[in-house]
Amino acid sequence: MRTMGALVAGLVLAVAASGCSQPSGAAAAAKAMGATNLNSIQFSGSGTNNAFGQAYSPGGPWPRFEVKNYIAAVDYQTPAMRLEMLRAQGEHPPRGGGAQPFAIDQRTIQVVSGKSAWTEGGAQAAPNPGAVTDRLRQIWLTPHGVIKAALAGGTSPTGNVFTFKAEDRDAKVTLNQENLVERVEYLTTNSVVGDVPVEIEYSDYAQFGDIQFPRHIVEKQDGFPTLDLMITDVQPNAPVSLRVPQNVASAPAPPGVPMATIEKVSDGLWSLNAAGTRSLAVEFADHIVMLEGPTSDARSKVVNELIRKTVPNKPIRYVVNTHAHYDHAGGLRQYVAEGITVITHENNKSFFEQAWARPRTVEPDPAPTSNKPMIETVGDKRVLSDRTRRIELYHTSNHGHHTGQIIAYLPQERILMYGDGYNPPAGADIRVPERGPEFAAQMVQRINELKLNPERIAPVHGRVVPYRNLLMAFNLEGSPKGTQ
């Protein structure tokens, strides 16, 4: 009996010791997924993606596009990554932003290598120094990048749920029963809505050479899908060599504060260019009205300081928001912080109130404020005027870009200001062959209905040009009033 008891006890201890020696957490995932000897990878597929922050209606889902081809090449050692995507129009008729409507398929190629980032596709690489951190983070959010980053973090994550650092973000990883990466969650940030939860799901794993890789990848941002891919080809340890172009390597670091320039359009009217977007400053008898607060709070702060130097002793009383897309509303909170009233379409009011009340913990808030937002709305029409100036604000109803979109017309100067519809290209060119005519045609139809008489346009995404350029770009000159 003693012999049998000792034998049983020995077996229990052996089993326990064997169980304790089994890897768990990130180490188990590395073994199950074949991450240890994986230095690079290329994977490709197709599916859909969605344009974050470009919803058709405030608070609605992001517009969807067809992804005909998606190719990611990753070098985990440098680290470096090249992402190529060919997109086509996904919604018919087009609804929302994201550079729609597409007239032709659009290809984007984004690259990061070490401390450099750039975009390919033009005559030479276009430096993107401000994108380095975000693109490096994407490397460590790939299925095997998650494991490599977790193991390299100086700790040994255990259990089927653990956290690690993806660049400067805490990421939570969930493994399935086979120790394969099932879900990655982290927070990013946006100037309009603050903290944004991101969730990436990896499923339907299959064997590709010596590794396991998911055949289905789904990403959601702020609860809505942004990417849904079916992976059809995976090449472990594929040759990935991403040399930094000379012009990218020598590109200056992004300025800590956006650079702003100001251009006089006419008496009492200025175009302000900063961070790749434009806004108009309109001088009234005793105050200033800003048309659009786009991009970021940092941009708004710089632009406001510039117009105050140009027109001293006249406060900024209003900022007019053309619509609630994040690139057009990203600088509005700075106006709220300065106690300036925001004018927007009535469809957008509750969205902004909710968005500006959300937590902002990921990064320091660039526009902290205890001010209650002062928001005034436009229904179908609103006029701002005094003895010196008049601005007419009109809702572009039945427009496919956004349900709460307004245009601003200055009848004295015959200038039309708007958010999207036609973005004049640089140089002498007029046409934009990659864009379809639908949104521009809808705006022209609204202009004709209102019997406006614009001579020039002042788009947020482009310089001041003749109104006729818009008509010529989309062959709309035959429409009523189309020869102005």
How many distinct structural domains can be found in the chain?
2
pLDDT, one tens digit per residue, over 260-273 is 999 999 999 999 99
Tell me what pLDDT residue 30 has.
96
Q: Which two tokens stand for residue 71?
A: 């190719």
Tell me what pLDDT residue 132 has.
97
CATH code where residue 313 lies? 3.60.15.10
Tell me what pLDDT residue 3 has.
43
Low-confidence ranges of the chain (pLDDT < 70): 1-22, 478-484
Q: Is 11 helix (H, G, I), strand (E, B) or coil?
A: helix
pLDDT, one tens digit per residue, over 23-32 is 779 999 999 9
CATH code where residue 145 lies? 2.50.20
Tell me what pLDDT residue 22 has.
65
The span from the CA of 461 to the CA of 446, in Å, is 20
Residues 240 and 344 grouped into a single domain: no
Residue 17 domain flag: no
Residues 322 and 230 grouped into a single domain: no
Domain boundary among 186, 219, 248: 248
Residues 284 and 208 grouped into a single domain: no
Residues 76 and 171 grouped into a single domain: yes
Q: Which residue segment(s) compose the domain that 399 sits in? A: 260-473
Tell me what pLDDT residue 398 has.
87
Residues 49 and 173 grouped into a single domain: yes
Domain boundary among 186, 214, 248: 248
Residues 188 and 328 grouped into a single domain: no
Residues 172 and 244 grouped into a single domain: yes
Q: Which two tokens stand for residue 98?
A: 């994201």
Tell me what pLDDT residue 288 has.
98
Residue 42 domain flag: yes
Residues 418 and 450 grouped into a single domain: yes
Residue 398 domain flag: yes
Q: Which two tokens stand for residue 407?
A: 């245009």
Residue 283 domain flag: yes
The torsion defined by the Cα of 135, 142, 86 and 473, in degrees rounded to 10, comes to -30
Residues 243 and 321 grouped into a single domain: no
Residue 403 domain flag: yes
Tell me what pLDDT residue 439 has.
96
Please choose, from the candidates 148, 112, 116, 382, the residue with its C-alpha nearest in 3D space to the C-alpha of residue 248.
116
Residue 1 domain flag: no
Residues 454 and 338 grouped into a single domain: yes
Residue 13 domain flag: no
Tell me what pLDDT residue 254 has.
86
Residues 30 and 125 grouped into a single domain: yes
Please choose, from the candidates 198, 142, 202, the residue with its C-alpha nearest in 3D space to the C-alpha of residue 170.
198
Residue 51 domain flag: yes
Domain boundary among 248, 275, 297: 248
